[in-house]
């Protein structure tokens, strides 16, 4: 399915039934990343998986990262939904945080998976050097991918590892490098501090993409948030431990829907 955002065709999937749950993927990902979640929630919720601008089947590479929030809100409006829950990974989590901050009455629950709002100068420099390798040609993208997988704590030989390497053939390297810089430069901390939606923070303990101080900062900015640590997971717990992840999300959302006792 598609909807028109300004002059851009934006792709999404929409299946299942019940209260709406929107999934937002990470940098370089797409709506297909949430296969395990679509299978689990099919009989429980209406699941909407968005290809964020410039990703998957969506157009819109000229849309800046700060506008991704507007795209998500436009999709909710397009579907005529009053309230949604949002589950986002990394970059997608930051878009979800923005929706919860700017459209408080539209977000019934927010699940934030492995994201950060700020990196220290040394971490910024190291991350910039890593993403600069995308512009060095085939050898650079292979080096970038293997370093990134190591930092995400994805073991060699796993299905996730090989799937990530296969996806490199369709990667728009200059676009991803540009979008990475926009994400890194975007300071969202003051906005996030205004969030009132029920929030679950999920942290993969082995993840090195998101430093531990980033999780602490999110807990300070959203003091009412619940926090779960997946000790055996890295950056992608929804793929590494899908059963536990799905149950955590389901339980959190059911608790929000239950009347207070």
User: Does residue 221 register a pLDDT over 50?
Assistant: yes
User: Does residue 84 register a pLDDT over 60?
Assistant: yes
**Predicted pLDDT at 260:** 52
How much is the average pLDDT of 79-103? 98
**Predicted pLDDT at 259:** 58
Share of the chain above pLDDT 70, in %: 99
Q: What does the pLDDT look like over 160-202, one tens digit per residue?
A: 999 999 999 899 999 999 999 999 999 999 999 999 999 999 9
Domain 2-118+187-257 classified CATH 1.10.40.30?
no
User: Does residue 258 register a pLDDT over 80?
Assistant: no
Q: What does the pLDDT look like over 66-76, one tens digit per residue?
A: 999 999 999 99
- Angle ∠(118,122,127) on CA atoms, nearest 5: 70
**Predicted pLDDT at 257:** 78
């Amino acid at each position: 399915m598609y909807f028109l955002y300004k002059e851009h065709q934006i792709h999404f999937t929409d299946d299942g039934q019940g209260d709406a749950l929107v999934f937002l993927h990470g940098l370089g990902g797409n709506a297909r990343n949430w296969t395990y979640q679509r299978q689990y929630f099919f009989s429980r919720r209406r699941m909407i998986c968005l290809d964020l601008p410039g990703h998957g089947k969506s157009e819109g590479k000229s849309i800046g990262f700060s506008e991704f929030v507007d795209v998500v809100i436009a999709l909710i409006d397009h579907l005529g939904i009053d309230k949604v829950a949002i589950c986002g990974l990394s970059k997608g989590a930051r878009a979800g945080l923005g929706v919860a901050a700017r459209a408080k009455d539209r977000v019934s629950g927010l699940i934030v998976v492995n994201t950060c709002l700020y990196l220290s100068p040394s971490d910024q420099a190291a991350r910039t050097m890593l993403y600069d390798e995308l512009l060095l040609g085939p050898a650079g993208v292979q080096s970038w991918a293997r370093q990134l997988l190591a930092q995400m704590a994805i073991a060699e030989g796993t299905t996730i590892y090989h799937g990530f390497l296969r996806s490199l053939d369709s990667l728009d390297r200059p676009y991803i490098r540009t979008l990475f810089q926009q994400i890194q430069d975007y300071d969202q901390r003051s906005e996030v501090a205004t969030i009132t939606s029920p929030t679950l923070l999920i942290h993969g303990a082995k993840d090195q993409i998101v430093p531990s101080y980033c999780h602490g900062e999110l807990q300070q900015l959203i003091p009412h948030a619940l926090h779960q640590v997946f000790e055996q997971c890295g950056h992608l717990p929804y793929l590494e431990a899908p059963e536990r992840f799905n149950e955590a999300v389901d339980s959190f959302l059911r608790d929000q829907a239950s009347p207070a006792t």
